[in-house]
Amino acid sequence: MYKIALLLASMLLPIAFASAQSNIRLSTVEGVENEDLMNVLRFQGINYNKVKFSGTHLWGKDFKIFIRDYENGKLIKTHEIFDSKEEEFFKLKEQEFNFNVLVQGTSAGKAKFDFRFLGFGVVKEFNLDAEHKDFILKSFQAKSEELAFPVNQNHSILTFIMPYKTKAKSMQYPDVIGSGIRPEDLGRHFKIPRYFLIDVRSD
Cα gap 47→126, rounded to integer Å: 16
| Burial (Cβ within 10 Å: 0-12, 13-18, ≥19) of residue 38 | middle
pLDDT value of position 12: 44
Q: Which helix (H) or strand (E) holds 190?
A: helix 186-190
Q: What is the pTM of this model?
A: 0.85
Going by pLDDT thresholds of 50, 70 and 90, the confidence category of residue 144 is: low
Cα–Cα distance list, 203 to 14, 64, 70, 100, 184 (Å): 13, 9, 25, 21, 22
Convert the pLDDT of each residue in 68-114 to its tens digit.
999 999 999 999 999 988 876 677 778 888 999 999 999 899 999 99
pLDDT value of position 7: 41
3-state helix, strand, coil in the chain (%, to 5): 25, 40, 35
Compare 186 and 96 and report the one with higher pLDDT: 186
Output the average pLDDT for the chain: 87
Cα gap 122→116, rounded to integer Å: 7
Residue 16, pLDDT above cutoff 80: no
Strand partners, 47: 103
Q: Where are the beta strands (DSSP E) in the chain?
A: 25-30, 46-54, 63-71, 74-83, 96-105, 110-117, 120-127, 136-139, 147-148, 155-161, 164-165, 171-172, 194-202
